[in-house]
Structure 1
Amino acid sequence: MIPFWKLKREAVRLGRKANAVPWFFRGRWRRWLYDRQRAARLRVTEGAQPARTEMAVLLIYQPAGLVASTFLTLDYFASQGVSTVVVSNTPLSEADRRQLAARSYLVIERPNVGYDFGGYREGVMTLLERGLHLDALYVLNDSIWFPLSRDSDALARCRALDADVVGLLMGNAGKPSPDNEYIQSYFFRFSGRLIADPQFVRYWRDMPLVDDKYLVVHRFERFVSRHFKQRGFAVTALTHWSELADSLARVEDEATLRAIFTHQCGIAPKDHNAIAPGLAAGQSPLALRDELVPRVAQHELFASTVHAHPVLLMDMGMAFLKKRIQSQHAELTCFGLLERLDPVIRAEIAVESPDGESARDI
């Protein structure tokens, strides 16, 4: 008999898919209309940074005012020789605008049309229209803490990879297969070779502006890297989803394994059904680990890498943490991992509200 939770999940998925269909066609019309009105709908502030050969587009959505980790990200890029265009999908206060301009090349305020990808598009198109010669372009949003520390080697590791699209994490949308893999859309690095190709400008110029979250996730988040890979460009990431199974296999401490399993039971019904009976029956955590690792490697369990226990993520060398995953915060403290994070991030974790992930996150 099919579990009720699975039937409910499929019903919700099909409903969302049906609702997204009109948006796919409406998005093209909305893009055309937005572009006709674009100049009047933007507020562009020149910043203190010069244009450089490596630029970043940082998309923010902070209607309650700027958070300190925004400046951590900007200062990190500057320390790495990267100038930043900040795109805000909500109006800024005068004070916030001044602070951002002092640390960036441009500050662009726009209506929240097209979710994060609408903001990405605005930043990318602005730089392309200015005719800058770029060796690399980073595109990211503020749904992640990045970097985790000011001495992070993440950008150096990105630069060292011989690829046209580099991400922080390679995710997976189904059974293990290169066709199902995609770069998580929180962060991209595009090479100079790709930026100079007409296909790059065409992709951003022709992008529909869509406000349906399901369609944004399935048509954009999961398709950017696939789009360019299908056209012959090399795609890779600093961390691969499959490394989670290897990380789990390396854990030998039974108390740590119990904490990992308890955490996973709390975030995924499927994982709870696979793990909880063994825990309740007193099964050895080491034996349970050995049973689970092959299923994790096949993407049957632990399917959402960013939600996994932070002990595993740190072991994998993850260069970022997703914000507003409350279940991870106590574990960071419990296992002494907070000290690895910048004080700015530690402070935000301490004050974050316990209401789960924001509906804005994609």
Structure 2
Amino acid sequence: MASLPFWKIQRELSRFGRQLAAAPGNIWRYWTERPFYDMVTARQIRVSDGGIPPSDNVALFLIFPADGILKSHLHSLRWLTDNGYAPLVISNVPLTDTDRATLHDHAWRILERPNVGYDFGGYRDGILSLADRLPSLKRLVIVNDSAWFPMPGTDGWLSEAETSGYDVVSASFHWGIARVDTEDFRDIRWEFSTDDRNFHYGSFALSVGANVLRDPAFLGFWKRYRLTGDKSKTVRRGETGFSQWILRSGYSHTATLDLTTLDTDLAAMPDDQVIDLAQNLILHEDMLMRGKKLEVLAGPDGRDPKTLIPLILTSIARQGVSYALPHHIIRAKGYPFLKKSPLWACPDTQSIMLDFIDGITGDQGPDIQSEAEALVAKRRDRLQPDITPLYETRLALRRR
């Protein structure tokens, strides 16, 4: 068996040291954060009735309207109500009187809460507020405003989830394809599995059926859920924790975006289309893979589909398709969600996103474009560094 590289051993030892040093404080927070929130902080929650009548289909819509209620919020709410859902709007920031009045006509109930626990803290408060109604609901949809939705011409996700026959339906999954190291991207095997302990469905779009809602263990999961102010722990306890609970409980589950044949789909595409997808890959979180993309595109295999296809597949496996490939999943697959966070990544990623958004048609297009420009302006001081010059220098040195 090959030995681990020294840098990997050094990295793991460093990580273990940090965890050990932080252990006393982490243990204390683990046991106290949720009880303190439930007994003290939750008293700050404000609940208001909206003008939409109740329904046996409820949509929990979590928002963070730091700049007020946006046109895209109202667009999403109209979509939910037009499909028979009573929106329970949960705001992780206090609302102004004007925003509360605006939401009144688009919501069944409005819940304003302290921003504790990120999105899953809000989901928890919303679901606990529905405790008495859960057994009588037909469907509970959970969505948040980390994505614009639905994209023009992609408004069938709600009905698709309802008629799928599955107990839990998400828009997409993550960690369903075994990852490979960046340098080994050509070795990726495109085989879907839920066996990885980190496998999870995207929590920005979930549809939960009556079988789950009637199960007391569903409410129990949310009562026991441990709030945290750490984003990585929120993903682990929330997205991964809930997905793993679904798997252990034996409920049927699926993602509406079927990627099982993506490798063969890409292989059947014209070369210029594969090249375009590779050039427009969005890798806002995976710095190593972003560097590899730049390196490959600038090298001799930069227009070779045999190299670009595994590059695309590895990017998706490592970062998630909702972020990495909007050009394909929205235009070709009718995927209704466009994630916002790549807009405050590095300039090259930002440019890809803005070009894509400029091509959005219909009445929603101008609204998304103006909101995207506002996000870019607001987050300009928090942009990740542009690593393109770094890799151009690296390539120049290699060629000497």
Q: How far is 1:313 from its partner? A: 2.4
Distance 2:63 2:212 in 1: 25
Equivalent of residue 75 in structure 1, options 73, 78, 84? 78
1:145 maps to what in 2? Answer: 148
Q: Does 1:232 align with 2:235?
A: no
Alpha-carbon distance between aligned partners in 2 of 1:85 and 1:160, rounded to the nearest angstrom: 22
Query: Unaligned stretches of 5+ in structure 1?
Result: none
Relative to structure 1, is the Cα distance of residues 276 and 48 closer, same or farther in structure 2, using a 3 angstrom cutoff?
Answer: closer
Deviates more, 1:26-35 or 1:213-222: 26-35
The reply on whether 1:161 has 2:164 as its aligned counterpart is yes
| Further displaced range: 82-91 or 267-276 | 267-276
Q: Which has the larger radius of gyration?
A: 2
The 5 A counterparts of 1:111-190 are 111-130=114-133, 133-149=136-152, 152-172=155-175, 175=178, 177-180=193-196, 181-190=199-208
Q: State the SS of the aligned residue for 2:47.
A: strand
Question: Greater relative contact order: 1 or 2 (C-alpha under 8 angstroms, separation 6 or more)?
Answer: 1
Structure 2 vs 1, CA of residues 356 and 250 (structure 1 numbering), >3 Å: closer, same or farther?
A: farther
Q: How far did residue 101 of structure 1 move?
A: 1.8
| 2-structure distance, mates of 1:247, 1:350 | 33
1:1-362 alignment, distance < 5 Å: 19=22, 22-23=25-26, 26-37=29-40, 40-130=43-133, 133-149=136-152, 152-172=155-175, 175=178, 177-180=193-196, 181-240=199-258, 242=260, 244-254=262-272, 256-264=273-281, 267=284, 268-272=286-290, 274-283=292-301, 285=303, 287=304, 289-294=305-310, 297=313, 303-314=319-330, 315-326=332-343, 327=349, 330=352, 333=355, 337-339=359-361, 342-343=364-365, 344-353=367-376, 355=379
Moved more, 257-266 or 112-121: 257-266
- TM-score, normalization: structure 2? 0.76
Amino acid corresponding to residue 186 of structure 1 in structure 2: F
My pick for the range that moved more, 201-210 or 318-327, is 318-327
Judge conservation of contact 1:167–1:189 (CA < 8 Å) in 2: yes
RMSD: 3.5
CA–CA distance in 1 between the matches of 2:9 and 2:336? 36
TM-score of the aligned structures, taking structure 1 as reference length: 0.84
Q: Take 1:60 and 1:272, find their aligned partners in 2: how far apart are those partners?
A: 30
Contact between 1:324 and 1:358, CA under 8 Å: does it hold in 2? no
1:178 aligned counterpart, secondary structure: coil
Q: CA, structure 1 residues 272+126, in 2 after alignment: closer, same or farther (shift >3 Å)? A: closer
TM-superposition CA deviations, 1:164-211 (whole Å, max 9, x none)? 111111111662531223201112111011100111110111111111
2:62 and 2:357 mapped to 1: Cα distance?
A: 32
Displacement, 1:301?
6.0
User: How many angstroms apart in 2 are the aligned matches of 1:356 and 1:11?
Assistant: 35
Q: How many residues align?
A: 355
2:316–2:324 contact (8 Å) kept in structure 1: no
